[in-house]
Amino acid sequence: MALLVPILAFTGFLLFQFATSERAHLEDDALAAARRISVVVDRELANMVAALDVLALSPSLAAGDMAAFHAQASRMYEQKGAAVVLRDLSGMQVVNVRVPFGQPLLRFNVEGEEAAMRQGRFFVSNIYTGPNSGLLLVSVTIPVTQDGERKYMLSLSVPLERIRDIILRESPQSTAVVGVIDRNGRIVARSVRHEDFANKFAADDTLSNSNANEGTWNGTAVDGLRIFGAYSRSTFSDWRVAIGVPEAALDAPLRRSLMLFAMLGLGLTALSVLAASFYARRIVRPMRLLAAGAAELGRGEPVEPVRTRIPEVQRIADAMAAASDALRQRERELRDFSGALEREVGARTADLMDANAKLRAEAEERERVEQQLRQAQKMEAVGQLTGGIAHDFNNLLAVITGNLDLLSRRLQMGRTNVERFADNALEAAQRAATLTHRLLAFSRQQPLSPEPVDANRLVGGMSDLLMRAIGDGIELETVLAGGLWRTHADPNQLENALLNLAVNARDAMGGRGKITIETCNAHIDELYSSDHNIPTGQYVLLAVTDTGEGMTPGVIARAFEPFFTTKGPGQGTGLGLSQVYGFVRQSRGHVKIYSELGDGTTVKLYFPRFMGALNEVEEQEQTALPTGTELILLVEDEANVRRINSETLRELGYRVLEAENAREALKLLDGDPSISLLFTDVMMPEMNGPLLAQEVLRRRPGLPVLYTSGYTRNAVVHNGVLDAGVNLLPKPFTMDQLARKLREVLDAPVFTEEASSPT
């Protein structure tokens, strides 16, 4: 019984755990099935929306040829069994593929679709009765826009049996019942007895316990059966997919485990009683003799021999007698061995101490060598970076100084045809500024000014620029997706990224080939997310594809490294792709290169979808250089920079007060109330630009502030984006850029002190 009770307890515990695990597994399977079926239903509805998007672009619809459009829509009805209905904005049917073209049609509207149409988005209906067919239907509706105006509502409707067939294909092979419930709480489809429950309200238990995105509950089904329920809410239609598993099916593993436990316990108990009775009679006397011999052995006395018919006991008795003889002999071995062992342990201990000291010395030497190697590798990387920067900057400085020297000499000689030298120097300076911006973009230090961006509009607007950049020998094609989401990015940096990719593609094709720029909506799932280390969610994808020579895996692995290039000397800086990489990552996006030798290359840029409200403002053409007469307080610690900025401001018509540091600026501010704007450098000794702005705004609330800096060091930029309400003009800048930025800041509404302060 001492063995039986623990065995039964442990067996019972295992069976209970198994039954509990089985129930939990069934519950998890139910919730997973609800999620899976919800995704399948969403995919079916999304396919219907995609089909409507294609139909909305029909040339016959655009031309108003309703007979041709009826024929086209009828072919879709014959192929897919989904009925197409076209209505005007009042709900009057124009085309219905269930009715021959030309026959009278009815007016009808589906609850809730008018609001969706006004917002310009698709609409998934609840259950309704078709006015022509009399069938119970669900439909998807999209607005049709022509010439910038919504003219029609285009719907694709299917009978409820279509949804039932979907859940029958995806339903778990068990006693579970699957149901789809619309937003009004009515049953759209059911895997069991669909005809009896379609269009009826779901059980109160189901409706009251399925208000979140997903979950489980215990309650009663619409047919009165006690169930365990699991549900998942559709993100596409806000329908609910509910799965009910009868409680009896969940409790079956526990009942089987209890019955098995009872049978096992009874059998083991009977077997144990019989075995104990049989062996007890044979083993009692020999075991007593063994106990007496053990006591003698413990006292060091000779053990009396035991004779028994039980072989196991006899072997133990003989072994005890032999052990008694050997024990006395081993006492004399043991004494001699103890002395020798002590001497051996002492010698071995000394050897181990010496070996340990040597190992410590070797470890210290290895650490020193590894540290030297890491330092050498770091210095080599820094040397490569600074060497590349120095090479490019020295070339640019040579152009600038050479042209300025020639310009100065020509002016001293009284010659006035010096425009080309000034233009050459200015172009080299702009290239140097571009190189600096690329380095900052690669290191994710370039301040970004993100805003909601329509990628289709941006790509279309820069088509002429791209054509001039790639040349006449290359064909440029744009594939722009309909219904493209907005993204949140710096539009200027995005244009630069696309231009860099187009130029790289041009060079890879040797001036002959085709470049395709494509936009589309993308969803990053968990599998792609784990493989590429990018958050899941919705993204706007821009892809640039060329028909060039392609890249090897080794080139792809190093493509985003700064100054890495496969072009010949003097044909590229090696910063183009690194700038693209830095900008995309700084914008919380993802970039991926796909390429095969001989088949061309595709570079895909993923930008997060913009989920905020849109406030679109039409861009205005600005041709004339804007000027002004306001008084500007200029704060710059570098004398040369301060002098040229002051001259530029005066050239634009502004009055200027100059200050070398924050202390002088505050004195000038207190002495002249007519100052209209603070124009200050960010990085200054003693008190930097943001701290100066805080003090200025404390004294003059609402005064506009414009920062300028070549490197902000996170003073007004955090996480790569300008702080809210901050105006920044990066150095170096042109007179045109300064003029337009000044008018933008001076003409903007006055911000509060909190909105203007970068900290």
Q: Are 34 and 241 in contact (CB under 8 A)?
A: yes
Pairing of strands 83-88, 93-96: antiparallel
Q: Supply the CATH classification number for the domain 1-160+249-299.
A: 3.30.450.20
User: Rounded distance, CA 22 to CA 228, Å?
Assistant: 14
Which of 383-397, 439-453, 678-692, 694-708 shows the lowest per-residue confidence on average (mean pLDDT)?
Answer: 383-397
pLDDT for residue 393 is more than 70:
no
Helices 247-299 and 311-412: crossing angle, nearest 10°?
A: 120
Give the model's confidence band at 756: pLDDT under 50 very low, under 70 low, under 90 confident, else very high. very low
- CA 477, 482, 485, 488 torsion-angle sign: positive
Query: What are the DSSP calls for 260-283, one per residue?
Result: HHHHHHHHHHHHHHHHHHHHHHHH
Q: Is the dihedral of CA 674, 676, 680, 685 positive or negative?
A: positive
The answer for residues whose C-beta is within 8 angstroms of residue 643's C-beta and 6 or more apart is: none
| pTM of the model as a whole | 0.37
Give the tokens for residue 462.
Answer: 């820069």
Q: Is the CA virtual torsion 740, 741, 744, 746 positive or negative?
A: negative
pLDDT in tens, 466-517: 887 788 889 999 999 999 999 988 888 888 889 889 888 888 888 789 999 9
Cα distances (Å, whole numbers) of residue 192 to 195, 222, 235, 240, 403: 9, 12, 25, 17, 86
Could you give the 3-state DSSP secondary structure of residue 132? coil
DSSP annotation of 448 reads B
Q: What is the mean pLDDT of residues 84-104?
A: 92
User: In a 3-state reduction of DSSP, which class is residue 729?
Assistant: strand
Mean pLDDT, to the nearest integer, of 457-465?
85
Does the CA dihedral 584-585-588-590 come out positive or negative?
positive
Alpha-helical segments (H) within 418-561: 419-442, 455-461, 463-470, 491-508, 526-532, 553-558
> Which residue in 500, 547, 544, 540 sits closest to 524, CA to CA?
540
Domain coordinates in residue numbering, the chain: 1-160+249-299, 302-442, 448-608, 631-756
pLDDT digit string (tens) for 334-369? Answer: 778 877 888 888 888 888 888 888 888 888 887 787
**Could you tell me which of 563, 583, 560, 566 has the C-alpha nearest to residue 574?**
563
At 62, the amino acid letter reads A
Asked whether this chain's domains 1-160+249-299 and 631-756 adopt the same fold, the reply is: no
How far apart (Å, rounded) are the C-alpha atoms in residues 43 and 735? 54
Q: What share of the chain is helix, strand, coil (3-state, %, to 5)?
A: 50, 20, 30
DSSP helix/strand/coil, 500: helix
> What does the pLDDT average to over 167-184?
84
Classify residue 566 by its DSSP letter. S
pLDDT recorded at residue 720: 46
CB atoms within 10 A of CB 751: 19
CA-closest candidate to residue 501, choices 532, 542, 541: 542
Strongest mean pLDDT among 282-296, 297-311, 337-351: 337-351
- Domain spanning 448-608 has what CATH number? 3.30.565.10
Average pLDDT over residues 1-14: 73
Identify the pLDDT of residue 509: 87
pLDDT at position 680 over 70: yes
pLDDT of residue 435: 58
Q: What does residue 428 show for φ and ψ, rounded to 5 degrees? A: -65, -40
Count the neighbouring beta carbons within 10 Å of the beta carbon of residue 20: 13
Which distant-in-sequence residues (6+ apart) come within 8 Å of 504 by Cβ? Answer: 576, 577
pLDDT on residue 119: 85
SS3 115: helix
Task: Look up residue 303 and give its DSSP letter.
Answer: P
Q: Measured between alpha carbons, how far is residue 388 from residues 26, 352, 381, 575 in Å?
A: 63, 54, 11, 10
pLDDT digits (tens, 9 = 90+) for 76-87: 888 778 899 999
HSE-up (13 A, CA, CB side) for residue 107: 5
Residue 230 predicted with pLDDT over 60: yes
Name the percent of the chain lying above pLDDT 90.
29
Which of 226-240, 458-472, 651-665, 717-731 is most confident? 651-665
Q: Which pLDDT score, from 0 to 100, does residue 503 have?
A: 87
Report how far residue 568's alpha carbon sits from residue 589's, in angstroms, rounded to the nearest whole number: 31
Alpha-carbon distance of 700 to 631, in angstroms, equals 15
In the predicted structure, residue 424 carries a pLDDT above the cut 90: no
Longest dimension (CA), the chain: 136
User: Measured between alpha carbons, how far is 523 from 608 in angstroms, rounded to an integer?
Assistant: 10
Minimum mean pLDDT range among 214-218, 370-374, 422-426: 370-374
State the pairing for strand pair 600-608/537-546.
antiparallel
Task: Look at residue 204 in the predicted model and tell me its pLDDT.
Answer: 87
> Quick check: 677 and 745 in contact, CB under 8 A?
yes
Helices (H) and strands (E) in the chain, counts: 21, 25
Report the chain's C-alpha Rg in angstroms. Answer: 42
Q: List the beta bridge partners of residue 506.
A: none
Q: Pick 631-756's CATH classification: 3.40.47.10, 3.40.50.300, 3.40.50.2300, 3.40.630.10.
A: 3.40.50.2300
Least confident of 247-256, 351-360, 432-441: 432-441
Helix, strand or coil, per DSSP, at residue 483: coil
φ/ψ of residue 3, rounded to 5: -80, -35
pLDDT in tens, 37-68: 999 999 999 999 999 999 999 999 999 999 99
Tell me how long the chain is.
759
Written as one letter, the residue type at 19 is: A
Instruction: Please report, for residues 20, 248, 316, 731, the alpha-carbon distance to residue 256 in angstroms, rounded to integers and kept in the order given.
Output: 12, 12, 45, 78
